[in-house]
Amino acid sequence: MKKILYKLFIASAVLLFSASCKKTLDTPAKSSMDESVIFSTPSLAEGTIAGVLQSFGETNSYRGRYLVFYGINNDCEVNNSLKNTSDEKSLLSNYQTNVNNSQMNTDNNAWAKFYEGIERANLAIRGLRTYGDVKNDADLAQVLGEMLTLRAVLYNDLLRGWGDVPARFEPITTATMYVARSDRDIIYKQLLADLEEAATLVAWPNERTVTSSVERVNKAFVKGLRARLALAAGGYGQRANNVVRLSSDPDLAPEKMYAIAKKECLDVINSGTCKLLGFQEVFKTLCAETNKAGLESLWEIPFSEGRGRVIFDLGVKHTDADKYTAQNKGGTNGPNPLMYYMYDKDDARRDVTCVPYEWTKGVQTPTSLGKWYFGKYRYEWLPRRVTSTNDDGLNWLYMRYADVILMAAEAINEIDGPAAAAPYLKMIRTRAFPTASAKVDAFMAQATASKTAFFNAIVDERALEFTGEMLRKNDLIRWNLLGAKLTEAKTKLQQLENRQGAYADLPQNIYYKTAADGETVTIYGLNHGDTDAAGAALGYSTKSWKMAATGDAATFWDALFLRNPDQQQFWPIWQVFLDASNGQLTNAGYF
């Protein structure tokens, strides 16, 4: 279904709408039809959404750069080539990048494509407000709400990647062609207002035909995104001169932002329009590509079969072509090795999230302690064999219902305390332990002991729930924990390698065999309490389970970050954009 929708949108609308975006900057956009016709006609106005989504899917936009490079490295997620510390991809991840990074210093990368999408959304918003009977036409109202939301998505990711960025909420004119960075607080306040309006314009999941697909914006996603932005706006972040602090704007005070998050999340929960699935089912449903709204996925960035690199970069690696894929790809990023050992053995999320093998000649083969893969995205779960050599076509799951529930728990704890927040955290914990209710009860007793204990439980639970979904770095920044958690991870990685402290009861080796189906690997030695003596007695193949390898230029833990992460929470604005800014853009105070 998504492929048909995407192709129809592209065929019917992109040429019309994107052409209008390239017209002269100081006159109303024109193409084969006047703006007054496009934005007063529901079917034509709806088609312009494709023009914005096109900017999401371009080669160096979300599809090929931002998704894989933003958010790495942290205590949960790492670039699997991080030990090559001078590689340009690793430099994007290890807090040592510069304005000339060859992966990003191009005029068509994510920065450019995000602003291209924003400009297209700005044109549509202006057209709909000027010519569309939004108050009386639900179809036009839906399109306006979607445009406001898509613009907010793009700004959300600009703010996550670069901190203070230029604010553009009107189509570009000759007078506004060159603008400086804006204080991010200005942008946050506009986005919070935009999403409040958008929630009045768009329908709930499955309330209308148009919101039956997760590729179209619905009210649950709008409210969830507003909650996410509120928590970011009310949290910490690196400001000019490398100061990490809260906003000084009283309108963005933490208590006010928590109140917004609480309201929006409870609206979604109480609507009954979304539901939790089994944890593995969430990602099998994503890979099944049914795109059905009203389940756990709230909204996805749509990629056609010939676009998108979700499994290509973030999935389980296949070292060569096999029956599941024609690509020898996957595993650019993976879980921090600590993550597997952070999970309880009965946690249903562990073996979905952390995969210690790759596929070689169609058979699962163990990797190493320093190379794990996200099991949430798998070629073998797709209903089709990937034939493209460069893309896999899987949508990016931008937000799911579990995030709304945990944001609700966090906000309610801050406002009302742990007892009031407990039911929401327990929803997620119960899903994670479907056969171990006693462990859920014990966990909740500890988590609700105090407000601080509950907050710490949320910090850990979001790691367990969302590893591989690129939310962790932004969470750590807003909690003012980025540097602290990375430093802690560095120490723990050394302890894990040397089997010290909490890792002292792990064996030095793993022991494995291929199962009777000829492709599935069975591994002994990954769990606390497993021993080398018991493993050797099994008669399986043996493999040393270490991060270090002969010839390594850097140890795994030393390569995790090369500078103080709190002094490089964001990327610099790339040199190509500095040079084209007529002197308006600068990285002064940040790098």
pLDDT in tens, the chain (591 residues): 454 344 434 333 443 444 344 333 333 334 446 999 999 999 999 999 999 999 999 999 999 889 999 999 999 999 999 888 988 999 999 999 999 999 999 999 999 999 999 999 999 999 999 999 999 999 999 999 999 999 999 999 999 999 999 999 999 999 999 999 999 999 999 999 999 999 999 999 999 999 999 999 999 999 999 999 999 999 999 998 889 999 999 999 999 999 999 999 999 999 999 999 999 999 999 999 999 999 999 999 999 888 899 999 999 999 999 999 999 999 999 999 999 999 999 999 999 999 999 999 999 999 999 999 999 999 999 999 999 989 999 999 999 999 999 999 999 999 999 999 999 999 999 999 999 999 999 999 999 999 999 999 999 999 999 999 999 999 999 999 999 999 999 999 999 999 999 999 999 999 999 999 999 999 999 999 999 999 999 999 999 999 987 667 678 999 999 999 999 999 999 999 999 999 999 999 887
b/e burial code for range 309-319 (CB count within 10 A of at least 16 → b): bbbbbbbbbbe
Domain ranges of the chain: 206-302+395-480, 310-382+501-544
Number of Cβ atoms within 10 Å of the Cβ of 341: 16
DSSP structure class, residue 66? I
| Full-model pTM | 0.95
| Of the candidates 190, 282, 163, the residue with the CA atom closest to the CA atom of residue 567 | 163
Backbone angles phi, psi at 111, to 5 degrees: -55, -50
Of 444, 445, 441, 447, nearest in space to 459 by CA: 447
Side chain identity at residue 3, one-letter code = K
CA distances from 210 to 3, 5, 330 (A): 15, 11, 33
Which amino acid type is present at position 86? S
Q: What's the sign of the alpha-carbon dihedral 47, 48, 52, 54?
A: positive
Q: What is the CA radius of gyration of the chain?
A: 24
Contact 70, 160 (CB under 8 A): yes
Q: What is the distance between the alpha carbons of residues 149 and 195, in angstroms, rounded to a whole number?
A: 6
> Position 269: which residue type?
I
Q: 206-302+395-480: which CATH number, 1.20.1300.10, 3.40.50.300, 3.90.1170.50, 1.25.40.900?
A: 1.25.40.900
Length of the chain: 591
Q: What does the block give as tokens for 337?
A: 């090795």
Tokens 């996200």 belong to which residue? 374
507, 525 contact by CB (below 8 A): yes
DSSP state of 175: G
> Can you say whether residue 263 is alpha, beta or left, with left for phi > 0 and alpha for psi between -120 and 50 degrees?
alpha
Q: What is the 3-state secondary structure (H, E, C) of 561-572?
A: CCCCHHHCCCCC
Name the token pair of 62: 């979300």
